[in-house]
Amino acid sequence: MAQILLTGASGFVGGHLLRELVRQGHAVKALSRSEHADRALSAAGAQPVRGELTDQTSLDRAAQGVQAVFHCAANTSAWSKDKALQMDTNVGGTQRLLAAGKRAGIACFVHTSSVSAYSHLVHETLTETVPQRGGVSWVNYERSKYLGEQAVRESGVPFLIFNPSHVLGPGDTNNWARLIKLVDQGKLPGVPPGSGAFADVREIAKAQVSAWQLGLRDESFLLGGQHASFLQLVQMTAGLCGRKPPVRVMPAGLLMAIGHLSEAFSHLSGRMPQITPASVALTCHHLQVDSGKAMRRLDYRETELRLLLQDTVEWLRMQGQLRPKPD
């Protein structure tokens, strides 16, 4: 049994990582920012430790006595107003956590990055040998994930880096679940013309823990899934929800115009827009991911998309976040 420090344990991917680490018999200290989070983390089998990625002292204290750090916390905002905070969280927070881990003498820093570190500027199928272009992207989230990943590589701390693609599965309340709920409510404004690779959050958690337990170090792994257009994704979702499916996509130019208008209005209203230029760029991109390395070495599995969506929809319905399916 090892002592682990986990960040982002209250989130979607981090929550699954927590459960997988506990299931494997490890003691997990989970970074927490509130009493409410403390209770939920304790119930999941973790020891909550109060800390902030912006506070070096709290990170040093949290890292004491741990053998590995699993870093899953991130700011995923696509709103330009959040740029400074996003950089401080995804880059500065990673650097501070690496410093804390280094002082604690950890044996491995397990970093949940993203395919976004490669950037929507890359149009070929992603493999671990494809050069990342996130550092030159105008999308702040892509740039922040790239720079955070570079901080890990340059730290001198033994590491594992994982680049998940679009993540689906039970427990999602704020990512693709937002799209599913809009489809269920008949309020989806339009389907973007891009496509993606849809990964199972449960398999992502298993792969990360497996790689660490195997003793692999200083390597990166892409974690993708079945490729589908967003129109196919939305049509499958509509069928599972018992709603009328859309039949066509919106033009990229129209979506981008809506994104610019929405973001301009958001600066007057102070409320985050549902659509931004950055989110349009990402959803008009055609993402394809080769998970071959993870499959061969970590027994990573790509869940068939319809089954993955079905699990996600059923979980959301059990949580009361979707309407009952029509008879």
Please state, rounded to an integer, the average pLDDT across all residues of the chain. Answer: 95
pLDDT at 302: 98
- How far is Cα 235 from Cα 229, in angstroms, rounded to an integer? 10
pLDDT at 318: 95
Q: Residue 308 falls within a domain, yes or no? A: no
Do residues 104 and 66 touch, judged by C-beta distance below 8 A?
yes
What is the SS3 assignment for 163? strand
pLDDT at 321: 93
The 10s digit of each residue's pLDDT in 60-98 is 999 999 999 999 999 999 989 999 999 999 999 999 999
Question: Which domain, by its residues, includes 92?
Answer: 3-169+198-225+288-301
Q: How many CB atoms lie within 10 A of CB 79?
A: 20
Q: Residue 322 falls within a domain, yes or no? A: no
Q: Residue 182 falls within a domain, yes or no? A: no
CATH of the domain at 95: 3.40.50.720
Q: Residue 191 falls within a domain, yes or no? A: no
Q: Residue 163 falls within a domain, yes or no? A: yes
Angle, helices 176-185/305-318, rounded to nearest 10 degrees: 70
DSSP 225-258: -EEEEHHHHHHHHHHHHT-PPP--PPPHHHHHHH
pLDDT at 272: 85
Work out the pLDDT band at 247, boundaries 50, 70, 90: confident
pLDDT at 175: 87
Q: Residue 155 falls within a domain, yes or no? A: yes
Residue in 254, 259, 281 with CA at minimum distance from that of residue 272:
259
pLDDT at 152: 98
Residue in 186, 193, 192 with CA at minimum distance from that of residue 241:
186
- How far is Cα 59 from Cα 222, in angstroms, rounded to an integer? 28
The 10s digit of each residue's pLDDT in 274-294 is 889 999 999 999 999 999 999
Q: Assess whether pLDDT exceeds 80 at residue 58.
A: yes
Q: Assess whether pLDDT exceeds 80 at residue 7.
A: yes
The 10s digit of each residue's pLDDT in 105-133 is 999 999 999 999 999 999 999 999 999 99
Q: Which residues contact 272 (CB under 8 A, 6 or more apart)?
A: 77, 79, 81, 266
Query: Per-residue pLDDT averaged across 23-52, rounded?
Result: 95
Query: Per-residue pLDDT averaged across 184-208, rounded?
Result: 94
Do residues 107 and 52 touch, judged by C-beta distance below 8 A?
no
The lowest-confidence range among 23-37, 190-204, 270-284 is: 270-284
pLDDT at 265: 87
Whole-number percent of the chain with pLDDT over 70: 100
Give the count of domains, the chain. Answer: 1
DSSP 88-148: IIIIIHHHHHHHHHHHHT-SEEEEE--GGGT-TT--SPB-TTSPP-GGG-SSHHHHHHHHH
pLDDT at 291: 98
Q: What are the angstrom distances between the C-alpha of 24 and each of 48, 177, 300?
A: 18, 28, 17
Sheet architecture: strand order including 226-229: 166-168, 195-200, 226-229
Q: Residue 257 falls within a domain, yes or no? A: no
Give pTM, 2 decimals. Answer: 0.96
Work out the pLDDT band at 305, boundaries 50, 70, 90: very high
Q: Residue 238 falls within a domain, yes or no? A: no
Do residues 128 and 222 touch, judged by C-beta distance below 8 A?
yes
- In the chain, the amino acid numbered 208 is Q
What is the SS3 assignment for 187? coil
Ramachandran assignment for 166, one of left (phi > 0), alpha (psi -120 to 50 degrees), beta (any other): beta
Better pLDDT: 208 or 248: 208
The 10s digit of each residue's pLDDT in 135-147 is 999 999 999 999 9
